[in-house]
Structure 1
Amino acid sequence: MATNLKQILLITILLSIGAFTVLMFTKVIPYLSFEPAINFLSTKTDQVLQKSVFQWSFYIHIISSWFVMVAGILQFIPYILKNYPIIHRISGKVYVILVLFLAAPSGLGLAFYANGGLSTKVGFSCQCIVWWFITFFAWQEIRRKNWLLHTQAMLRSYAVTLAAMSLRVGSYVMIYHFGTKPIETYLTVTWLSWVGNLLIVEVLIKVGLAKYLLKYHK
């Protein structure tokens, strides 16, 4: 893929992610009132809402995941990679710590209380497990100074991070453009949001995105 095309593609992706990150911030803020029946929480039964495991998992997940999105996007901005490598290194450490110790484990805790039955519980559980192991692999490879494998793994990890974005976009498209029922939509996007993202990022890696980003590393 031509360099200019890669630049345009990367800028488009980063701008889209940036816009979604700002949007997600506005969605997280209302939950910080810790009221029990706000937005997503209103879909849960009182029995679930009263469980301390669910409460801790939910609030840790929504807060840490937002910071994961911010730290993650800083990993792939060429200007930062080239001119401010210290930002890249610090945000990378923050990203790995948050995913391994907060976001992925708390997401796994939430998966056990997912709406939609066994399929969604398994889907979200698999997502968190895959997210954890890919991120751990990325950390291991940077310690071994395997730059290309590290970059490829970070792209895959961030693709799973962005399942939150794909889930919402996919739900909108399926409901308003294909007329699917809510439960059908939810069961589909539970899996498609992260598996689809991984397929897309594999294509991007295949066409040279990881090698392109490596050119800016110092």
Structure 2
Amino acid sequence: MTNVLDETIGSSPAPGRKWWRKPWIVPLGFIAVAFIAFSLPRYLTFDRAQSRVQQPEFGWHYPLLVIHVTFASIAMLTCVLQVWPWFRARYRHIHRLAGRIYVFGGVFPAGVTALVIGVITPFGPAALSSGLVMAPLWLLFTYKGYRVARRRLFVDHRKWMIRSFALTMSIITNRVWAVVFAIWLGPQFDTTFMGNEKLFGYSLAGATTWLGWVIPLLIAEWWLQRDEVARRRAKARV
């Protein structure tokens, strides 16, 4: 594995390394753009009827949702640039600018609105508890990453931003789990859920909201631990 220092913001790219040596960046960017192109336009119409989440009990829910989706889309797009080693090594000034946009024009407003929206979610207590845990973690990881970058602790910056990245992109895995559980639990609607649409919706939302961000975060932590082991082995060889 590439030494962790080669992957930090302050490092120089390895000789001869090309952008296509990181083939995951193309599908990642495509998925992010496709997801935003599918999700964002309906909220830019400011038509409440087109919202995927309806909460008529709170009139201010929809404006907050529009703000959240818009800034979360900015976070997703800038995040793709932030995790691209080739780009950040060659265009550090753009990386720093995109990083500030990611933090202040993406995650912070999206995370704060996500916390408020999570409190009044119409999808039941399991989804509510997920939002109350995930949103503060998203804000915390991003803040920690920004703070250590200001102190030029780039190895620590990378670790915190990988965690932030996992939560930023977790909305995509959330949708994947929604499809999986809908296919799995759908045939049980009349038996396990006794034909109760609210019970079915609560169960579906609870499972997808928790798994949507917990699994990506666990994978990120596994990757960071794997990276740390590789770094220690490299030190031992030296």
User: TM-score with structure 1 length normalisation?
Assistant: 0.82
Which residue does 1:91 correspond to in 2?
98
Judging changes above 3 Å, is the alpha-carbon distance between structure 1 residues 182 and 165 closer, same or farther for their aligned structure 2 residues? Answer: same
Give the match's secondary structure for 2:48. Answer: coil
Post-superposition CA distance 1:22-65 (Å, at most 9, x none): 22223211221111111414xx24333xx22x133111100000
Equivalent residue for 1:21, pick from 8, 32, 38:
32
Percent identity, please. Answer: 23
Aligned: 1:205 with 2:224: yes
Tell me how far 1:90 sits from its aligned partner: 0.6
Give the 4+ runs in structure 1 shifted more than 6 A: 6-9
Tell me how far 1:109 sits from its aligned partner: 1.4
Rg larger for: 2
Tell me how far 1:17 sits from its aligned partner: 2.6
Which residue does 2:56 correspond to in 1?
46
Which residue does 1:116 correspond to in 2?
123
Which residue does 2:132 correspond to in 1?
125
Equivalent residue for 2:178, pick from 149, 164, 171:
171
For structure 1, which runs of at least 5 residues remain unmatched after alignment? 213-218
Which residue does 1:216 correspond to in 2?
none
Distance in 2, matches of 1:185 and 1:22, equals 26
Q: Which one-letter code corresponds to 1:198 in the other structure? A: L
Tell me how far 1:185 sits from its aligned partner: 2.5
Q: Which has the higher helix share?
A: 1
Distance in 2, matches of 1:123 and 1:203, equals 21
Tell me how far 1:195 sits from its aligned partner: 1.2
Equivalent residue for 1:195, pick from 198, 214, 223:
214
Post-superposition CA distance 1:175-214 (Å, at most 9, x none): 33x34555433211111111111101111222229x99xx
RMSD of equivalent CA atoms: 2.6
Tell me how far 1:163 sits from its aligned partner: 1.4
For structure 2, which runs of at least 5 residues remain unmatched after alignment? 8-18, 187-199, 232-238
Aligned length: 202
Post-superposition CA distance 1:72-94 (Å, at most 9, x none): 11111122122211111110111
Q: Which one-letter code corresponds to 1:144 in the other structure? A: R
Distance in 2, matches of 1:123 and 1:84, equals 37
Q: Which one-letter code corresponds to 1:189 in the other structure? A: T
Distance in 2, matches of 1:192 and 1:89, equals 31
Distance in 2, matches of 1:148 and 1:2, equals 14
Give the match's secondary structure for 1:96. Answer: helix
- Alpha carbons 2:64, 2:117 under 8 Å: kept: yes
Q: Which one-letter code corresponds to 2:137 in the other structure? A: V
Judging changes above 3 Å, is the alpha-carbon distance between structure 1 residues 119 and 32 closer, same or farther for their aligned structure 2 residues? Answer: same
User: TM-score with structure 2 length normalisation?
Assistant: 0.76
Distance in 2, matches of 1:168 and 1:187, equals 13
Distance in 2, matches of 1:117 and 1:125, equals 13
Tell me how far 1:20 sits from its aligned partner: 2.2
Distance in 2, matches of 1:10 and 1:205, equals 18
- Alpha carbons 1:120, 1:190 under 8 Å: kept: yes
